């Protein structure tokens, strides 16, 4: 028997002011996107801004539904929107934020497991890592340099049957 340890690394920015101009712009766009979320059931407004390798920036937010599982997170709404607008263009950087109307979020909001899985496939398809920045309403901002750092031991298409026959 062997036991393995998996390490992950993330960068912590003390505040928004420490971010690059580009990242501040993306965070502002993500905040604006959060304000347009359709989150009448949870009241949790999530926004994302995604920079593509071709320079395009797409934003999205969570879209809920009274049949709860039918809704979709901001990250996947944004990723699917980007991929449908610019198929095959790799993702460069994703910025995520959220608003909790009951208490100000002072810690960053990381993507849920399902979104990590989806982002991981876009990362593999894109051929290079996607930087992911996570922010709350105030306070620290966290950054990982790859979706891999959020989702080790990832399921991928390499496990599926080879259909090229
Ligand atoms: N949500 C996101 O948009 N992204 C996440 O990573 C976590 C959760 C949304 C889904 C739902 O609309 C609301 O937040 C509460 O879970």
Cβ(42) – ligand 1 distance below 6 Å:
yes
> pLDDT per residue over 46-74, tens digit each?
999 999 999 999 999 999 999 999 999 99
For the chain, give the percent of residues with pLDDT over 90: 98
Q: Does position 76 have pLDDT exceeding 90, yes or no?
A: yes
pLDDT at site 41: 98
Q: Which of 18, 75, 121, 140 is catalytic?
A: 75
Q: Does position 38 have pLDDT exceeding 80, yes or no?
A: yes
pLDDT at site 51: 99
The closest-lying atom of ligand 1 relative to the alpha carbon of residue 48 is 3
The closest-lying atom of ligand 1 relative to the alpha carbon of residue 62 is 3
Cβ(47) – ligand 1 distance below 6 Å:
no
DSSP labels, 97-152: EEE-SSS---S--PPPHHHHHHHHHHHHHHTS--EEEEE-SSS-EEEES-GGGT-S
For the chain, give the percent of residues with pLDDT over 70: 99
The residue whose CA has the least distance to atom 10 of ligand 1 is 73
Cβ(64) – ligand 1 distance below 6 Å:
yes
The residue whose CA has the least distance to atom 9 of ligand 1 is 73
> pLDDT per residue over 119-158, tens digit each?
999 999 999 999 999 999 999 999 999 999 999 999 999 9
75 catalytically annotated: yes
Q: Which of 39, 43, 44, 68 to mutate to test the pocket of ligand 1 (most atoms within 8 A of CB)?
A: 44
Cβ(13) – ligand 1 distance below 6 Å:
no
Distances (CA, A) of 129 to 23, 91, 111, 119, 143: 16, 8, 16, 10, 12
pLDDT at site 165: 63
Average pLDDT in the chain: 97
Q: Does position 164 have pLDDT exceeding 80, yes or no?
A: no
pLDDT confidence tier of residue 2, bands split at 50, 70 and 90 = very high
Do the beta carbons of residue 143 and residue 134 sit within 8 Å? yes
The closest-lying atom of ligand 1 relative to the alpha carbon of residue 112 is 6
Q: Does position 101 have pLDDT exceeding 90, yes or no?
A: yes
């Amino acid at each position: 028997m062997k036991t393995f340890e998996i390490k992950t690394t993330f960068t912590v920015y003390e505040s928004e002011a420490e971010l690059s101009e580009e990242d501040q712009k993306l965070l502002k766009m993500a905040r604006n996107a959060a304000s347009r979320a359709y989150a009448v059931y949870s009241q949790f407004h999530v926004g994302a801004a995604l920079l593509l390798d071709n320079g395009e920036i797409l934003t999205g937010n969570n879209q809920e539904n009274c049949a709860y599982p039918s809704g979709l997170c901001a990250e996947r709404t944004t990723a699917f929107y980007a991929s449908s607008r610019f198929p095959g263009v790799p993702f460069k950087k994703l910025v995520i934020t959220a608003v909790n109307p009951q208490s100000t979020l002072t810690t960053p909001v990381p993507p849920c497991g399902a979104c990590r899985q989806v982002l991981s496939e876009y990362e593999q398809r894109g051929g290079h890592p996607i930087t992911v920045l996570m922010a709350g309403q105030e306070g620290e901002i966290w950054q990982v340099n790859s979706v891999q750092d959020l989702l080790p031991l990832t399921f991928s298409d390499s496990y599926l049957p080879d259909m090229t026959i």
